[in-house]
Structure 1
Amino acid sequence: MELQQMRYVVAIAETNSFTRAAERCLVAQSALSHQIARLERELGAKLFERTSRRVRLTPAGAAFLPAARQCLDAAERAAAQAAAAVGEVRGRLAVGLIPTVAAVDVPGALRDFRQKYPHVRIGLCVGASDDLVEQVREGALEVAFLGLPTTVVPKGVNTYELARDRHVAVVAPDHPLAEESTVDLRRLSAEVFVDMPAGTAGRIQSDLAFSAAGLSRDVAFEVTSADYMARLVGEGLGIALLPSAYVPRLTGVTTIEVIDAPSRAEYVIWSRTVCTPAASAFLAILGISTGPGTPDRGPVPGSSVRVAAE
C-alpha cells in the first residue's frame, strides 16, 4: 500500500470522478484507475462503485477514507518536521477565523508569513467560533482566531487571549437613535434586532447581557455574516450590536456607545497535541511563543498583533 494510492482514493472521494481526480493529481486516468484496482486487490474489497453517471464509495471505501486521510496528514507532518530540523518550514498552514476578528491584522500577518516561508501552503476559512475550536481539536486547522463571551474560555486547545472589546449599537443613519451619543440595553430592548443565529458565540454574548439585565428583545433577522448584518441595518430593518473594534470597517451605518454593553474576548488558539512547524512559525510572526510558559494574555510588544481597545 502506497501513499500515492491513498491520495488517489481521497481525490476520487472528494470529486466523485476518476477523471477529475486524475486531473487534480496530474496523472493519466488509466494510471490512476490501475493503482486503485491494485489497491483493491491488496485489500480484498472494492472501494468505489462506478456507474455511467457517478462514482461513490462502497462501505469498505467509506471505512478506508478517514484512515487514508490520517495517513496522508501524518506523512505531511513527518516531512514538515524533517524540513524543520534542517531549518526549513514547509507543509501546510490552515487558519480559521471569525468574520469580525479585529485584534489581529490577519491578512497582514499572512503576508509577512508568506514572504518568510514561501514553501508553506496556506488555507483560510471563515466560520463560527465553536466550529473553529472543534476543527483545531480535530487537526483540520492549525490556528484559529475566535471571539467569545468573556466568561467562556476555549477547551481542549492552547489559548492566547489577544484583546477584550465592548459592543456598540449599530443603526441606520436615519434611525431615531442615530443622534444619541449613548444608549443603554433597556432602551435598545424596544427595537427590532439583526443578529447572529441563536446558540452561536457571536449571539450568546448579547443574549447574556440582555438576560443579566432582566430584559428580552426581538431578533427578527438571523444571519451568519456581520457585513450582511450591517446591510440589513442600513436598510432600516433592525439594529445590531457589534464589537467596537470591528465596526469602523462598515459603511452606511451609525454607531452608538452602549453604557451597559456586552463584551467579548478575542483569542488565538492552536492544538494541544501537535503544533506543526508552520503553525509555530505563524504564531511567532504574531509574537506568540508555543513553548512552555506561554502567557495566556497579550499583547506582545514588537509583534504584528494589533490589539483592540481594552
Structure 2
Amino acid sequence: MELQQMRYVVAVAETGGFTRAAERCHVVQSALSHQIARLEQELGARLFDRTSRSVRLTAAGEAFVPVARQTLEAAERARAEVEAATGEVRGRLAVGAISTVAAVDLAEELAAFHARHPKVRISMRVDMSDALIEQVRQGTLDVAFVGLVPGARLKGVREKVLAHGELVAVVAPGHPLARQERVGLRRLARETFVAYTAGSAAHRQTEEAFLAAGLRTEAAFEVTTLEMLAKLVRAGLGVGMVPEAIASELTGLHILRVRGAPVRTERLVWSRLGPSPPAAAFLRGLDATPDGE
C-alpha cells in the first residue's frame, strides 16, 4: 500500500469522479484508475461502486477514506517536523474562520505569516463555528477562529478566548426602529428576524439571550454568511443581530444598541493532539501557544 494510492482514493472520494481526481492529482486517468485497482486487489475489496453516471464509495471505501486522510496528514506532518528541525518551516496551514471575525485582522495576520514562512502553503475556509470546530477535531483544519456563547465548553480542542463583545441589531434605514438608537429585547422580539441557521453557534447567541428574558423570536430567513444577512436586512425583510465590532462595516444599515444584548466570545481553537510546525508558528504569532507546545 502506497501513499500515492491513498492520495488517489481520497481525491476520487472528494471530487466524485476519476476524471476530476486525475486532474487534481496531475496524472492521466488511466494511471490513477490502475493504481486504485491495484490497491483494491491488495485489500481484497472494492472501494468504489462505478456506474456510467456516478462514482460512490462502498462500505469498504467509507471505512478506508478517513484512515487514508489521517495517514496522509501524518506523513505530511512528519515531513514538516523534519524540516522544522532543520530550521525551516514548511508544509501546510489550513485556517478556518467565521465570516464575522473581529478580534484580529485575519488577512493581515495571514500576510505577515506568509512573509515569515514563505514555504508554507496557506488555505482558508469560511464556515459556521460548529462545523469549523469539528474540522479542527478531525484534522482537516489546523486552527479556526469561531464565535460562541460565553459559557460554551469545547471538547477535543485547545482554545484561547480572543475577545468578548455584545451583539447589536441592524435594520434597514426605512424600518420603524431606524428612528431609535437603543431598543429592548421585548420590543425586538415582535420583529421578524434574519438569523443564522437554527442550531448554529451564531443562532444560539441570540436565542439564549431572548429565552433568558422569557421571550421567543421568529427567524423567517436563515443564512450562513454575514453578507447574505446584510443583504436581506437591507431589503427590509427583517432585523439582524451582528457583533458590535463589525456592525459599522455594514453599509446602508441602521445600528441599534440592545438592552440585555446577546454576548459572544471570539475564540481561537486548535487540536488537542498538538499543532504541526506551521500551525505552531502561526499560534506563536498570535501569542496563543500554551506552555510546553
C-alpha offsets along residues 63-84 of structure 1, whole Å, 9 cap, x if unaligned?
A: 3222222211111111111111
Tell me the equivalent position of 1:306.
none
1:298 aligns to what?
none
5+ long unaligned stretches in structure 1: 295-310
Distance between the aligned counterparts of 1:38 and 1:216, measured in 2? 58
Q: Deviations over 1:37-79 (max 9, x none)?
A: 3323322333344444444434433332222222111111111
Tell me, in whole angstroms, the C-alpha distance in 1 between the residues paired with 2:149 and 2:157.
17
In the TM superposition, residue 29 of structure 1 has moved relative to its aligned partner by 3.1
Q: Which residue of 2 aligns with 1:192?
A: 192
Q: Deviations over 1:195-230 (max 9, x none)?
A: 112221111121111121222233222222222112
Q: Which amino acid aligns with 2:207?
A: D
Partners of 1:150 and 1:265 within 8 A in 2: yes
The SS at the match of 1:103 is coil
Pair 57,190 (structure 1): closer, same or farther in 2 beyond 3 Å: closer
Q: Which residue does 1:223 correspond to in 2?
A: 223
Query: Which residue identity is paired with 2:93?
Result: L
Matched AA of 1:153 = R
Match of 1:137 in 2: 137
Report the count of equivalent residues: 293
- The letter for the 2-side match of 1:159 is E
**Aligned positions of 1:219-258 closer than 5 A:** 219-258=219-258
Percent identical: 57
Answer with 254-263 or 19-28: which moved more: 19-28
Contact 1:148 1:265 in 2 (8 A): yes
Distance 1:199 1:63, change over 3 A: closer
* Higher mean C-alpha displacement, 137-146 vs 147-156: 147-156
User: Could you tell me how far 1:96 is from its partner in structure 2?
Assistant: 1.0
The whole-number CA distance in structure 2 between the counterparts of 1:13 and 1:208 is 39
| Structure 1 runs (4+) greater than 4 angstroms displaced | none
1:287–1:228 distance in 2 versus 1, CA, 3 Å: same
CA distance in 2, matches of 1:24, 1:87: 31
**Runs (5+) with no aligned partner, structure 2:** none
Letter in 2 for 1:193: F
Q: Does 1:207 align with 2:215?
A: no
TM-score (norm 2): 0.92
Q: CA deviation at 1:164?
A: 0.5
Q: Does 1:116 align with 2:94?
A: no
Confirm whether residue 78 of structure 1 aligns to residue 78 of structure 2. Answer: yes
SS in structure 2 of the partner of residue 113 of structure 1: helix
Structure-2 residue corresponding to 1:307: none
Change (3 A) 1:217 1:3: closer
Give the 3-state SS of the residue equivalent to 2:245 in structure 1: coil
Classify the secondary structure of the residue corresponding to 2:282: helix
Letter in 2 for 1:63: A
TM-score by length of 1: 0.88
Q: Which amino acid aligns with 1:37?
A: A
For 2:202 and 2:104, locate their aligned partners in 1 and report how far apart those are by CA, in whole Å.
18
* Cα distance in 2 for residues equivalent to 1:242 and 1:277: 35
Shift of 1:19: 3.1
Q: 1:112 touches 1:285 (CA, 8 Å); kept in 2?
A: no
Q: What is the CA–CA distance in structure 2 between the aligned matches of 1:33 and 1:192, rounded to whole Å?
A: 53
| 1:19-41 C-alpha deviation (Å, 9 max, x unpaired) | 33222222233333332333233
**Partner Cα distance (1:272, 1:51) in 2:** 41
C-alpha distance in structure 2 between counterparts of 1:282 and 1:206, whole Å: 31
Alignment of 1:1-310 (within 5 A): 1-292=1-292
Deviation at 1:176, TM superposition (A): 1.9
The answer for the alignment partner of 1:304 in structure 2 is none
- Superposed CA RMSD: 1.9
